[in-house]
Chain A
């Protein structure tokens, strides 16, 4: 955990039960800050229990969370559904706000819900903060607000011609709303734009198994399904799909992934994101947009190589469109296609994210984004398997 270089401050963190929000909360507490979080109760668990459970995951005992205050509230409601006492607390004590709460769905059919959280939630939050002592607003956005822009994506406010999904669109709208509100109230605004975040590069630990993990989890599901069929049920269902077990124990899984090998993904480990966030956030003069991205992209064929090597798979390959014209997609490919269609702008990325400003800040603090090597990948997959992809 990072140590606080400055005096302890009081932060309000939204989205503290989310992936990045929980990391930030834990790190702020470890750094000696006081943290007020806004959270919802869920599945019969109170907001407080949810947050404390998460802090425990980070190794913070209850006794180490004395500077943590959990307010039960909901961004999508005007007034955030907060008690008058809680509103008073926010008004009088919050010095900096970290807004992590976000609906990360890309689905057009969930547009209303995404807009509610990512846009209306932010507006509701600012309405409360207008009356507070907040002087700094940290907005966790995404590098992909660049939308359908091609080539170099500027580390600045952008105005893309279009978007790949409702998430990008609402996140960018959020940036503009934040800029306008902060300018009006003379609040310093810092916008952090991470690319695709995966687990901790040294331990593999993660709370979330989506984004990078989902397609791998899907392949792993197929692998286990057909191995079971082959080993326990004569393998008829595997045979029907052209799946076979090779002599060396490798499972041949004929899955063609529509795309080109020359595209890439930009991946950063969560530990790097947190380090970068803390370093930038503490910098007194820091302001504006920061691309927290990996200077080195990972090519898709490289990622595929890692996956097949680690999980002892063969037959999974990148294939051009004409291949599918000759032989229609099978069930496994259709499922993949469904995923790829939604994430295509990330899985087939040819964009490059400008990062000079952030890199300059981070270089001064000796922070460098770890490479996405096979070792790092293996560490992450080992952890994923250990915790059964988040089920344990």
Chain B
């Protein structure tokens, strides 16, 4: 018997792969760490439970092994809860119980026969690292992208080296087996499916830091989080994307961008060189004179030059006086102008304008609290947008001289640790009653107000932990006692709280490069995406905007939020697609500086100049 409630939880897995990185310093699922297949991580078990409940896969010998390798340590429960609010351990338990009941009833698990192709794959990568068991394959067949359907691959292989990748490609080519590559085993965009072979790079996890050159050699299974953790040991910093996304995968797919892009650039700015295995299995480096010219850009849907097997990425120096700063705004234009000015004047290492949804979601340990905080920030305090900045003391002094009030590191920590107090009804009423000419945040955030805020919010790890389920409070109290959990620099480097953006619903993100001096264009894009979503009843919101290239361009994100398991919501997004796709194509083709990320997919190694200024 399957519990529908548990199945629904399982089906809600966002495939963010946060259970694969030790981002809370709790350790990770030991089974996944040892076996590397997605199916052995909590993410895979969520898919397996859903697939079993839907009778899509049988109970196989492989599944029995997967289940037996889970010791219900519950590390996944805290890891997943931190970003999604879900409690996956109930799924792990239910899966275990289901398989145990099956075996206890005397039934035999299906023993999936090997075949000649699998034997060949195993010859290449080793017998442990290639599989055709449906329980293992199903974790590579699924994707929360709402318009993607389940598509089972025939095989999955986990190469351990560049040469194994090359051999896999040659073998697949010789047998005309289609293949796709998954950096960390997961995917969220609905692209990476194959009926043939999935090549999962999770075993290739080497990182080599070059302290003289401030660079790192990174294998394709290395995630942003892992690279950053290593770089920090040497006092350096990587420009990284989402923490569980792989560095190589990110560069190849879309190019790296983040709030650090304001200083570190995007796409080819991120690396020194890249190594690929091409479609024939040949190995080449981008810096070789006869290598394919991946630095150029073609304005069309394109394919990657091959499978990236090594990235030689740039790292960046840090100084010991870096701190975060948030500049609140009540209006979008004002915030964008200020961000552009900062970037033009080279003020700030990382810059990004966040909307109310992002700000409150990132800060709040629960979705409920995020809703309340969002209302408090936006409706009560009048903070509709916030410019987030990381800078050294000179940067911060410059910003302070230009604008006040600000949320500095001390106040940010106060907010993070006292967040439930911010949503207190009496406090909100009090501020709402301040019917002044200026938004209330201009008073509330003044330095003189801190003693009162301290009393109202009563910030402490215990207070912050009040926002979560009672049985998780001790864990969260301990977690929030760690200084890095409220340190804007650390949080922005490791980006663990930005993974919360899909907590409420799966996110459908539009990423668009825009000309920063064309406010009309930026506003029109946001307004049109909003209009399309509103017409279909799709939740939507401005995501972020980061200025790049000295304020000439910016990366704009606008988001739609949908329940990817709800057929009605899927239908809504399908209908919206018929409007937003042609609109974005048109504006991308007709307006200088507007470039939809869709057309940069697989051209992530291109020079930004090649696509930003055409």
Contacts and interface: CB of A to CB of B under 8 A. Distances in A.
Interface string B213-248: 000000000000000000000000000000000000
Contact of A237 (B382, B437, B455): B455
Contacts of A335: 430, 434, 443, 449, 452
A338 B436 contact: yes
Nearest to A105: B435
B426 A221 contact: yes
Given A218-B430, A221-B430, A238-B455, A331 B435 contact: no
B448 A330 contact: yes
B455 A106 contact: no
B405 to A, nearest CB: 12
Interface residues of A, number: 31
B455 A342 contact: no
B460 to A, nearest CB: 10
A107 B434 CA distance: 9
A118 to B, nearest CB: 15
A371 interface: no
A221 B428 CA distance: 11
Most chain A beta-carbon neighbours within 10 Å: one of B430, B455, B458? B455
A390 B456 CA distance: 21
A241 B330 contact: no
Most chain A beta-carbon neighbours within 10 Å: one of B425, B452, B458? B452
A139 to B, nearest CB: 23
B515 interface: no
A339 B434 contact: yes
Nearest to A388: B426
A332 B435 contact: no
11 contacts: A109-B439, A218-B430, A237-B458, A332-B452, A335-B430, A335-B434, A335-B449, A338-B434, A338-B440, A339-B436, A391-B425
A137 interface: no
Contacts of B458: 233, 237
Contact of B430 (A109, A217, A226, A240): A217
Contacts of A387: none
A172 to B, nearest CB: 19
B443 A338 contact: yes
Interface in B139-184: none
A329 B448 contact: yes
A342 B436 contact: yes
Interface of B is mostly: helix
Given A218-B430, A334-B446, A391-B425, A342 B451 contact: no
A221 B431 CA distance: 11
Nearest to A166: B437
Interface string A228-259: 01000100011011000000000000000000
B582 interface: no
Interface string B446-478: 101111111110100000000000000000000
B69 to A, nearest CB: 47
A180 B429 CA distance: 39
Interface string A297-309: 0000000000000
A73 to B, nearest CB: 23
Interface string B295-323: 00000000000000000000000000000
B434 A328 contact: no
Nearest to B447: A331
Contacts of B435: 105-107, 342
Nearest to A109: B437
Contacts of A109: 330, 382, 437-439
A341 interface: yes
B517 to A, nearest CB: 27
A343 to B, nearest CB: 8
Contact of A226 (B434, B438, B448, B455): B455
B483 interface: no
Interface of B: 330, 382, 425-427, 429-430, 433-440, 443, 446, 448-456, 458
A62 to B, nearest CB: 30
B427 to A, nearest CB: 8
Interface string A86-117: 00000000000000000001111100000000
The 6 closest A-B pairs by CB, nearest first: A331-B452, A237-B455, A108-B437, A331-B449, A214-B433, A338-B443
B435 to A, nearest CB: 5
B454 A240 contact: yes
Contacts of A241: 451-452, 455
A329 B451 CA distance: 12
Contacts of A56: none
Given A109-B439, A237-B455, A341-B436, A331 B450 contact: yes
Contact of A217 (B425, B433, B454): B433
A237 B448 contact: no
A225 interface: yes
A277 B143 CA distance: 66
A210 interface: yes
Nearest to A211: B433
Most chain A beta-carbon neighbours within 10 Å: one of B429, B435, B446? B435
Contacts of B436: 107, 338-339, 341-342
Nearest to A331: B452
Contacts of B434: 335, 338-339, 342
A225 B429 CA distance: 14
Contacts of A389: 429
Contacts of B446: 334
A341 B435 CA distance: 10
A320 to B, nearest CB: 20
Interface in A334-371: 334-335, 338-339, 341-342
B425 A237 contact: no
A232 to B, nearest CB: 10
B64 to A, nearest CB: 50
Contacts of A332: 452
A128 B120 CA distance: 83
Interface string A263-301: 000000000000000000000000000000000000000
Nearest to A391: B425
Contacts of B454: 237, 240
Contact of B451 (A214, A240, A328): A240
A380 B173 CA distance: 85
B381 to A, nearest CB: 13
B437 A342 contact: yes
Contacts of A328: 448
Contact of B455 (A214, A225, A329, A391): A225
B384 to A, nearest CB: 12
Given A237-B451, A330-B451, A331-B450, A339 B433 contact: yes
B455 A334 contact: no
A240 B436 CA distance: 27
Most chain B beta-carbon neighbours within 10 Å: one of A221, A229, A233? A221
A225 to B, nearest CB: 5
B459 to A, nearest CB: 11
